[in-house]
Structure 1
Amino acid sequence: MTRDQLGNEITDTAPDLVAAINDFLHGVLAYQTQAVTLMGLIEDHPGSCLGNTYTGFLWMFLESPAAPALAAPYLERALKAAGTPREKANAQVLAAWVAGDIPETIRRCEAIAREYPTDLAIIKLGQYHLFNLGDASGMLRMALHALPACAAMPYVHGMIAFGYEQCHLMADAEASARRAIAIEPTDPWAHHALAHVMLTQARVDEGIAFLEEVAPTWQGLNSFMHTHNWWHLALFYISRDRQADVLATYDAHVWACEKDYSQDQIGAASLLARMEFAGIDVGDRWADVADRIAARGADTVSPFLTLQYLYALARAGRPEAETLMDAIRTRAATTAHDQAAWADVALPAATGIIAHAAGDAATAARALGRALPRLQEIGGSHAQRDFFDQIHLDALIKAGEASTAQQVLEMRRTYDPDGIPLNRLLAQVYEQVGLPEQARQARARAGG
């Protein structure tokens, strides 16, 4: 009997294919590039149920409108191939995903996780889809299926840590992340979960020290994990007004890998915007990001991704922004499992983004204000969705709604009390509302 590196029984016996399946598993869990090894040899193994399923998963991770068609041939092979019940169940997960039935995809992932708790690739995939729906408790539940069977594996604890963090269970999140790191110090997803905890708890200097210490271990990771962990470090740099470090991080890491990949694009766009909101001159950096995003066309695979594409296009003054806005309107009117997220959250947020770029701050503030209370429904993490809060805040200030901006800024100060850009803004707002002493205190916190 052949087993994969996690102990799961597999039908395939060819040494090269078994090695590639293990590369896929380790690559997906550890965010390493060998995950794609399978794509280079699957044509030699057309009868592999699991190999074709995993290849289909890789194509679907493109997060592009073309992905289902690219995955379809591998799905067809996987469904025809012989396989164990677990392997056939994996193929059915791919079938639901290619069909766009995400609730069914998640249901099938969870069924496998319950019966086969060592199938960590499926647990990771299920958590990915729950994340995209903003289902934090589901993310935690999905990851916990791996215990106790996989308690000795570090990547399990990284997944659990992120689930805890998204549920606002910070002590549990930190404990799980540190357990993962104790087993495998280079686990990038555990680094990521701990970065989230430190950001939420205003542990800015500690976050910088920790991420700078582990950053050398990110070299050679896939583009998403490399760029995203550096993105987290850049957020800490912004809080400390380390402008040169933020720009250097952007140029050398955040926008330096796979520039046509969805996650790299939104990381770059949201970081550029955050830099501008913090008063940093980003020069002509928007042009390259907007060029790459424009090439995606009217991409409405995910509301979370699409809104960030839209911001980049609108900020750069690209005509494709209006084309994408039309696609969002169409998507919001299309019956689907996520129609409410598109119609009630993404559409008003998109309206606000377009208004913000056009200089209509009042409309931007109103439209984004409608979307913010339900923003979790579009997916993404707390830290990522904060981008939309920052657009809203900028609109409030530009619209002259200083009293409302003061409320927002003081709430933000609960998790960034000494943030220099934040306190500079607070000083301005307190001057506008006629509170000079509060303005003086804010300026002092900002170091000025």
Structure 2
Amino acid sequence: MAEWCADHLRSCAAWKEAGLELSTTSDENAKLLDGAIRQLVSWSDCTVLGGFHETLVGMTAADPDGIMSRTFIVALTGLGTEAAARDPTFAESMDKLEKDAEQYGNTREKRHVRAAVLWGRGKHHEAADEWDRIIDDYPTDLMAVKFSHDAHFFNGNCVGKKNAVEKVINKWDKDLPCYSYLHGMYAFGLEECGLYGDAEKEADLALSLNRFDCWASHAKAHVLEMNGRHKEGKEFMYKTEDDWRQGWMIATHNYWHTALFHIEIAEYEPALEIFDREVANRFNRSHSLLDMVDASSLLWRLELEGVKVGKERWRKIENLGKYIDNHAIVFNDVHMGVALYRQEELETERKLRESLEKYSSLHSEDNCQISKLIGLPLYDGMLNYARSEYDSAAETMFPIRDKVVQIGGSHAQRDVFVQTLIQSCIMSKDQKNWSLTPQLLIERETMKHDSQLGQRLAEKFRRMHPL
């Protein structure tokens, strides 16, 4: 897969000719950096280069002091949410990179270092702004485009995510490597802004240029879900499965989308089979927190539908205890909390909650304030629901429902919180809570059209609270 990415990798001279000069004098480092960026954008391995991880190893070995290659790894680590500013090793690598960049990095590299380190230290909005400014001046800087797109995703900034690609896409030569992937990225930004027709056109264009663009497949899945075209979405994902599953970095998430189409039309067994066969197994190989979110979210949604998923499935989301002090983004913490509770790892869940509260009292990172104002109430609301404390869940989550976008993720991902709030209100014994349900159902239908799941929630409400 993605063998094309090894073609015509740029040497130091080629990077300079493209207006993107590197300070390294190692052509091997320069070429493998090019290959690494291409693999990241395509979410897949280039077997010619030995795959993404081997490319990073070779890139570092070729020039351990290379500024841009080290910056790539720092930004990748931070945006991958696996490490945060409080990780001593990560913090040390950022400090050294800053000093070295100041000593021998060029102007563009210093700006990249600034953005990557800002993100790594928790200044997420400043980092996104810096990557945006870089692509204003260097529109063909794919590394900046990719990281800007991802940063806006984690910041919950759908307009920024769209604009980051929109302002450069017409400045690219169509023969440049990865040009087609810009259309898939643009499609996702358009979808998150509610521009579903334009988003689908861009996704289809991207796939016509490269059917293996698994991010474009992902963007189209979002459009089909938000438009209520669930059977069509399910058919699309299965029809193209052999194309998008090659992108191992996002395959778990695309399987999650496939399962969501099943859940929407009340096909629960296929969704469980996808969890068992794909989602759980892939998480246990990757131990990626992004995969953890998909696994936790999928089981929780099935339980909201009344499916008994079983404790053993929850326990397949393994070794969560080592992440309880991470707090890179609170989106992860909330999903981790419900998983630990369902695993009956109550002491670990308590420690996670205490750690999150302590972290939220800091003021050094953007996520601290988001965790304090939105993350903690959302966490508590989800756990209240898990404990069948429906009144508390509704009263905790309702006031922040319009602010949850700030924790990042997509509309489709955050729908798990919307569903939980609606279920909390329906199950509440207090009229002031359950009477909020019609309003919440309308709000969800406005965002997610023709949702059969929404219709089931409305029927449940009418059944439990007849006029």
Fold equivalence (TM over 0.5): yes
Q: Determine if contact 2:252/2:294 at 8 Å carries over to the other structure.
A: yes
8 Å CA contact 1:300–1:328 kept in 2: the answer is yes
Matched residue, 2:123? 101
1:375 aligned to 2:387? Answer: no
CA shift for structure 1 position 198:
0.9
The alignment of Structure 1 onto Structure 2 pairs a total of residues equal to 433
Residue of 450, 454, 457 corresponding to 1:417:
450
Which deviates further from its counterpart, 297-306 or 268-277?
Answer: 297-306
Question: Which residue of structure 2 lines up, in the alignment, with residue 404 of structure 1?
Answer: 436
Q: 1:238 to 1:45 in 2, by over 3 A?
A: same
User: 1:253-268 maps to which residues of 2 (within 5 A)?
Assistant: 253-259=278-284, 260-268=287-295
> Could you report, residue by residue, the CA deviation over 1:139-167 in whole angstroms, capped at 9, with x for unpaired residues?
12222232222262111111111111111
Give the superposed CA RMSD.
Answer: 2.5
Would you say the 8 A contact 1:356–1:364 is kept in 2? yes
Q: Does the Cα contact within 8 Å between 2:140 and 2:172 map onto a contact in 1?
A: yes
- Describe how 1:119-198 pairs up with structure 2 within 5 A: 119-150=141-172, 152=174, 153-198=179-224
Q: Is residue 274 of structure 2 the alignment partner of residue 252 of structure 1?
A: no
Q: Does residue 390 of structure 2 align to residue 390 of structure 1?
A: no
SS at match of 1:10: coil
Answer yes or no: is 1:211 the counterpart of 2:247. Answer: no
- CA contact 2:423–2:457 (8 Å) conserved in 1: no
Stretch of structure 1 that moved more, 15-24 or 114-123: 15-24
- The alignment status of 1:3 with 2:14, answered yes or no, reads yes
Q: Which structure is higher in RCO with an 8 Å CA cutoff and minimum separation 6?
A: 2
Cα distance in 1, alignment partners of residues 62 and 91 from structure 2: 17
Structure 1, residues 88-124: CA drift from partner, whole Å, max 9, x if none?
3222222322332223312221111101011111111
Aligned partners of 1:126 and 1:186: how far apart in 2? 22
Amino acid paired to 2:380: T
CA change 1:146–1:6 in 2 (3 A) is: farther
Verify the 8 A CA contact 2:311 2:343 in the aligned structure 1: no
Of 285-294 and 324-333, more deviation after overlay is shown by 285-294
**Which residue identity is paired with 2:30?**
V
Q: 1:78 to 1:342 in 2, by over 3 A?
A: closer
Deviates most, 331-340 or 74-83: 74-83
1:367-402, Cα deviation, whole Å (9 max, x unpaired): 011221211111111001111111112222222455
CA distance in 2, matches of 1:422, 1:145: 36
Residue 116 and residue 413 in structure 1: after superposition, are their counterparts in 2 closer, same or farther (change >3 A)?
closer
Equivalent residue for 2:353, pick from 325, 331, 351: 325
Q: Is the 8 A contact 1:328 1:347 kept in 2?
A: yes
Q: Kindly indicate whether the alpha-carbon contact (under 8 Å) linking 2:370 and 2:406 is maintained by their aligned counterparts in 1.
A: yes
TM-score (norm 2): 0.85
Quick check: 1:275 aligned with 2:308? no
**Conserved 8 A contact 1:2-1:13:** no
Contact 1:331 1:339 in 2 (8 A): yes
Determine which of 333, 346, 350 is the counterpart of 2:375.
Answer: 346
- Runs of 4 or more above 6 Å deviation: none
State how 1:7-156 maps to structure 2 within 5 Å. Answer: 7=18, 8-12=20-24, 14-33=26-45, 34-41=51-58, 42-65=60-83, 69-72=88-91, 74-75=93-94, 76-77=96-97, 79-80=99-100, 82-150=104-172, 152=174, 153-156=179-182
Instruction: Deviation per CA, 1:218-251: give whole Å up to 9, x if none.
Output: 333233x110111111110111222221111112
- SS of the aligned residue for 1:9 comes to coil
The structure-2 alpha-carbon separation of the partners of 1:170 and 1:66, relative to structure 1 and needing over 3 Å to count, comes to closer
- Aligned identity (percent) is 25
**Change over 3 Å in CA distance of 1:358–1:116 after alignment to 2:** same
* Runs of 5+ consecutive residues of structure 1 not aligned to the other structure: 436-448
Shift of 1:195: 1.0
Query: Are 1:4 and 1:10, in contact at CA under 8 Å, matched by a contact in 2?
Result: yes
Distance in 2 (alpha carbons) for counterparts of 1:52 and 1:431: 59
Residue 268 of structure 2 is aligned with which of 240, 243, 251? 243
Listed as ranges, the gaps of 5+ residues in structure 2 are 1-11, 46-50
> Partners in 1 of 2:216 and 2:17 — Cα distance?
19
CA contact (8 A) 2:213 2:244 kept: no
TM-score by length of 1: 0.88
1:229 to 254, 276, 285: 254
